[in-house]
Chain A
Amino acid sequence: MPTLTIDGHQVTVREGATILEAARAAGIEIPTLCYREGLPPQTSCMVCVVRVNGAEGLVPSCGMIAREGMVVESETDEVRAARRMAVELLLSDHLGDCLGPCQLACPAGMNIPLMIRQIVAGDRAAASRTVRTRIALPSVLGRICPAPCEKACRRASHDEPVAIRLLKRWVGDEDLARGGCWRPESAPPSGRRVAIVGAGPSGLAAAWRLRADRHAVVIFDEREGPGGGMRDIDHQRLPPEVLAAEAQVVLGLGVELRSGVRVGRDVVLDHLRRDFDAVLLAVGEVDEATAAELGVPFGRRGLEADRGTHESPIAGVFVAGSAQSPSNLAVRALAGGREAAQAISQWLAGEEIVPAARPFNVTMGRLDEHTAALMAADASDHPRTEPSDGEPIGFNDEEATREGLRCMHCDCRGLSKCLLRRHAIELGADARAFDGTRRGFERDGTHPAIIYESGKCIACGLCVRIAERHREALGLTFIGRGFDVRTAVPFGESLAEGLRAAAIECAEACPTGAIVLREPPEMREEVAGADD
């Protein structure tokens, strides 16, 4: 029973236990990728390295047997740097998109691929929730948004982008037409009150989010009725009844709208600060005079406020949307309102405000024609759908489904199980620390239960071992060597031939999205933590 010291903790383990096992027994977490309980250590990923007895070289803790008197360092800067670099090297040859480029391009960060899959699956309620957790006004934006998501859509590299805007609009319009749109839980009340100045996209989005956090919300606006600047948009493009109906969904969540009140003239900011726990200024584009009237310093482009936390120099006063930074993109204003609302909730809870960061992401970069064709192979080859009843009417149900089937599912099916991503985030790895040659895209979709994308494989060897243990007739093997090593079925056979019994276990064990279940449950549901 050797006793060793790990990061200053004495640990006694059974004879033959590894350093990793000893560390885990002591509650010290060591990241691993190629390790799986019940299989012999692969010692290939080198993410679990530790320093033993001060030696210069680091050793993989998963394979090193603990010995009496060993002194192990696991949490030093140097060890962490080595782990981070191993992860960064793996990321530099990891071909895939964590998140769909559409989602990343959406200022509101809406999980577009998920919405599309829910539409295709006929799960309108789920689609509504996916859309409305991020976008409070989908019917409105579905008419006026210039759709940066479609410019990023990878399907455009093959033929034409998926009609994302019309799909989102279909979700919003269906909600309005049939009722039953998704609403956040807004009870019991938190006891806090927030004043929002401005009932435009930013103010309404903030209200929607603040109600989800169960705060009482009062919106002040100098104009009669909600909508702000959006009410000036050509009525052909954005019919007033659509705007009114969708704003009503927000107000219907128990938000009070005080119309005809101009803050700075009819009521001063200090009074709002006195009567409310926090104030959000979402008044749209301002000039210096308006800023002076509000009593808030004018910054470079609008009311002075921190870009990340939305805090103005005045305590308890936040700024969002065009009031902070002018934009003619309603979706950007809307995203800003939501972000500011989150900041306010954190502030009200006495927490440090954590600015919304871009999610960690690995990207495939630009697709060449060949790769685009390979990726499109599993999607419908139908050309982009035009609404048969014309643009003002939008998609009918059948068209929405048909268009949804064109989505190439760029977002990774392994997102929630991916250890590479998890460790990358924990270790603060930069996905683009190393550039250089990468593998090409390949997708083996021959297997009924799983999908294999070799570009995402990190050559950990687990699936090879698992297939071997299942005594697969063909199984999997490493082909080639060095940088060009690939995990593949022998003799160039398909995955369906290679894995007859071991497929599900391989998908479970794969530490990345290389081998995944064809339809992992989370691909139909929002996964906590996956997008925030």
Chain B
Amino acid sequence: MTEEIDLDAVDRVVEEVGRTRDAVIPILRALQDHYRYLPPEALRRVCEITQITPAQIAGVSSFYTQFRHHPVGEHVVRVCHGTACHVKGADQVTEALRRHLEIHPDADTDRERLFTIEQVACLGCCTLAPVMQIDGITYGHLTGDTVPDAIADFLELKRRGVLAPAAEPVEGRADGLAEIRIGIGSCCIAGGSMDVRTALERAVNDLAAPAVVKPVGCVGMCHRTPLVEVVIPGEEPALYARVRAEDAEGIVRRHFEPQGLRRLRATITSALDHLLDDRTWTPVTRYALNVRDGAVGDFLGRQVHIATEHGGALDPFDLDEYLDGGGFTALRRVLAEMTPREVIDEIKASGLRGRGGAGFPTGVKWQLVSDAAAEPKYIICNGDEGDPGAFMDRMILESYPFRVLEGMIIGAWATGVHEGLLYIRAEYPLAVQRVRNAIEACEERGLLGEDILGSGFSLRLLVREGAGAFVCGEESALLASLEGNRGHPRLRPPYPSEDGLWGRPTLISNVETWAAVPWIIREGAERYAALGTERSAGTKVFALAGKVARGGLIEVPMGMTIREIVEEIGGGVAEGRTFKAVQIGGPSGGCIPAELADTPVDYEALSSVGAIMGSGGLVVLDDSDCMVDVARYFLEFTQRESCGKCTPCRIGTRRMLEILERIATGEGREGDLERLEALARMVRRSSLCGLGQSAPNPILSTLRYFRDEYQAHIEGRCPAGRCRALIHYVITDECIGCTKCAQACPAGAIPMRPLHKHEIIDDKCIRCGTCRGVCPVNAIEVH
């Protein structure tokens, strides 16, 4: 295929982005936005007109998964393979897509070049699992047989010319007025909140309701999105869950009954529009929730909001609102009343530890950077959250961008830094947009930039986007990426506090860590340290997902037990199922079995049972989840995300995966468990960075607690009925001969026999589970 490529775009991009080596990722991103892939001619042109070399651009562009080297179809379907999506059937979704679009097994694009399928590590919408995204539109709660509906819906939207909704800042403020709050976190948007917002705005306008529709950050109740909360001064707030656009008017009517002339006009308008009135309209009450109701109370009641303070009430675009809620008080105090030394001591005294996973004492890190002599120094916010099943950092960046910035400004001031970066995962476009927006707002108000609040202190912050590499969450790989290289970690020590970005001392912390800083300064280290346990102070944000009734983003005091989180906040597993384990810490973490669920959330306690705090993914598993499958899933992830630099990780993770695949398909051999264990221990000991060192954890922890399940697979059984090669679908005598299964079976494995008991031809059955989903009498069992 030799198409003429217009190279002027390259020159324009370079002109805009820059010519230095570290501009390579932004340049590649811009080129891909333009061409929708990276034509080799364009890359060569980049090398001609910049300092970027062919070796660098070829290495970098093939390292990050977001970069495509081949033209794609008109629309890109990104199927999420995060943990929650995996346990809820992402594989079936992919297969159904491939079947429906008739995509060849070796290809990723259909014949009409309309759709290209991509597998993504995690879209961070775990509570809507399984999820796929077509261009900007997210479809959740998919099953094999609803995939064609989703495609049809997308094509219909396209035909109608309805573009993907984009979140925009709201105009004006709600001074004294009632607020109708609508969540605009990614989960809410994926649940359709932008349509609801438009409908609410129209309803408020049409009915002349004395209220403003206000977009707010994440409430955390991602399992009930989209959420609408009506807050009228002096009244009990009302919360509505799973609201649809057509419910908007009813909600507005319920709280803001039009009066007088306004009422007349409004009634007429709405009558013309909808031909219904508030008395005949009832559905919305179905969704009405009282905050003091059991379920909501349990979900929110035991949480302590520090990083997520004012959750669900703050407009992420509104700096004034953040200021009204105590925002930047901490920064003002620091600038006016404290010495850098005092600030560092305060952070030390709070007991705050890095929330990225490893738990290094934050104050000590600040001290190291402060003590480092070399100049300039840098400050970095690590927002490259890549664990499948984790979306804490996304939520914080999307909902509380000002808080993260305030934390960084305080850190920079205390350690003498004047330049900093926020490295944010490419899969989080909303977070990137809102943080950029927040930086701009802060600069306008003198909270960032030159001479902050007249203190003489200056700090410049910039956002840099990743390009799809989990390993870049590892700090040395992140630095390599910022410098325009492949995300290869390097040996530590020296640590970034001594030898970081461009070889300079660099203070690098995770999003949640930065978000805790303003509260600590404002409320005092003592109050923070009083929360949690002796060695793990404060709170931890978790993304609670999986087989739990109420998933979402939660913030709990350290020391709360896993059981309390799962059962009280999460509402336990579904009726008829048994709580089996939690997977905590994602691909670097481990599984904690139900019998150890009284383990508290505490760095040391978790690691003593073979798990880790990790960044905060918490996926609940029930008896229908296979632990071999869970281990295999994570190994598949880590081996795909291995940078390939060191031997144990590059080859060791692949070999471990191969052994696991063997076991999961009933091909396991005698000695495989011992071989797997020995290899896992060696990879843990010998890998260069945290990714490789922790990659064996899911294996070692499941081997530790569920060894009998592995043994059963070697003997040819999957006790959870999950591993396809080891299971069969069987139709029982309950069958009423309705033929639904036969019609739905994508493989033609069920012959149509109206009014007779149906049978599944095992050789043809692809174990997709579609038949089970459509059977009205639950007559299909897995053996």
Contacts and interface: CB of A to CB of B under 8 A. Distances in A.
B644 A483 contact: yes
B491 A436 contact: no
A483 B639 contact: yes
Contact of B58 (A44, A468, A490): A490
A60 interface: yes
B588 to A, nearest CB: 14
Interface in B626-661: 639-648, 650-655, 658
Contacts of B494: 65
A290 B58 CA distance: 74
A173 to B, nearest CB: 49
Interface in B643-697: 643-648, 650-655, 658, 678-679, 682, 684-688, 693
Nearest to A87: B647
B644 A436 contact: no
Contacts of A56: 685
Given A86-B686, A93-B651, A485-B644, A479 B491 contact: no
A82 B682 contact: yes
B237 interface: no
A427 interface: no
B655 A482 contact: no
A53 to B, nearest CB: 13
B645 A44 contact: yes
B497 to A, nearest CB: 16
Contacts of A47: 647
B54 A482 contact: no
B491 A60 contact: yes
B644 A481 contact: yes
Contacts of A472: 55
B646 A44 contact: yes
Contacts of B504: none
Contacts of A476: 55
Contacts of B658: 436-437
Contacts of B491: 41, 43, 59-60, 63-64
B43 interface: yes
Of the candidates A43, A64, A484, A490, the one having the most CB atoms from chain B within 10 angstroms of its own CB is: A490
B643 A58 contact: no
Nearest to B652: A89
Interface string A27-55: 00000000000000101111101000000
A43 B490 contact: yes
Interface in A433-468: 434, 436-437, 458-459, 461, 464, 467-468
A204 to B, nearest CB: 46
B355 to A, nearest CB: 22
A31 to B, nearest CB: 13
B44 interface: yes
B115 to A, nearest CB: 25
B498 to A, nearest CB: 11
B55 A482 contact: no
B53 interface: yes
A490 to B, nearest CB: 4
Contacts, number: 138
A212 B682 CA distance: 47
A132 B742 CA distance: 74
Contact of B651 (A92, A464, A478, A491): A92
Contacts of B53: 475
B654 A483 contact: yes
Nearest to B692: A46
Contact of B647 (A64, A458, A490): A458
Nearest to A472: B55
Given A459-B650, A475-B55, A481-B486, A58 B686 contact: yes
Interface in B443-474: 469
Interface residues of A, number: 50
A436 B654 contact: yes
A345 B686 CA distance: 44
A434 B54 contact: no
A46 B684 CA distance: 12
B655 A434 contact: yes
B647 A89 contact: yes
Contacts of A58: 685-686
A478 B686 contact: no
A41 B491 CA distance: 10
B651 A49 contact: no
Contacts of A488: 58
Contacts of B493: 65
A490 B54 contact: yes
B63 interface: yes
B533 interface: no
A446 B652 CA distance: 33
Nearest to A84: B682
A490 B653 CA distance: 27
Contacts of B54: 473-475, 477, 490-491
Contact of A478 (B59, B646, B654, B682): B59
A81 interface: yes
A216 B459 CA distance: 90
A167 interface: no
A58 B687 CA distance: 8
Contacts of B486: 478, 481
Given A490-B55, A490-B58, A491-B54, A484 B644 contact: yes
B646 A89 contact: no
Interface in A71-114: 81-82, 85-86, 89-90, 92-93
A350 interface: no
B480 interface: no
A277 B491 CA distance: 61
Contacts of A63: 490-491
B711 interface: no
A297 to B, nearest CB: 39
A480 interface: yes
B165 interface: no
Contacts of A60: 491, 688
A231 to B, nearest CB: 52
B57 interface: yes
B646 A437 contact: no
B40 interface: yes
Nearest to B57: A490
Nearest to A47: B647
Contacts of B644: 459, 478, 480-485
B686 A46 contact: yes
Nearest to A488: B58
Interface string B330-356: 000000000000000000000000000
A517 B57 CA distance: 28
Contact of B648 (A46, A467, A492): A46
A81 B648 CA distance: 13
A462 B490 CA distance: 15
B317 to A, nearest CB: 37
Nearest to A459: B644
B119 interface: no
A57 interface: yes
Contacts of B693: 57
B654 A491 contact: no
B198 interface: no
A435 to B, nearest CB: 8
A60 B689 CA distance: 11
Which 10 pairs from chain A and chain B are nearest by CB?
Answer: A485-B644, A490-B58, A490-B54, A477-B55, A477-B59, A89-B651, A482-B642, A436-B658, A63-B491, A483-B654
Interface of A: 41, 43-47, 49, 56-60, 63-65, 81-82, 85-86, 89-90, 92-93, 434, 436-437, 458-459, 461, 464, 467-468, 472-485, 488, 490-492
Given A58-B685, A65-B494, A478-B59, 11 more contacts: A44-B688, A57-B693, A59-B491, A82-B685, A90-B647, A459-B644, A476-B55, A478-B63, A479-B58, A484-B644, A491-B58
19 contacts: A44-B645, A46-B687, A60-B491, A85-B679, A86-B686, A89-B648, A89-B651, A468-B55, A475-B53, A478-B486, A479-B58, A479-B62, A480-B62, A481-B644, A483-B642, A483-B650, A483-B651, A490-B54, A492-B40
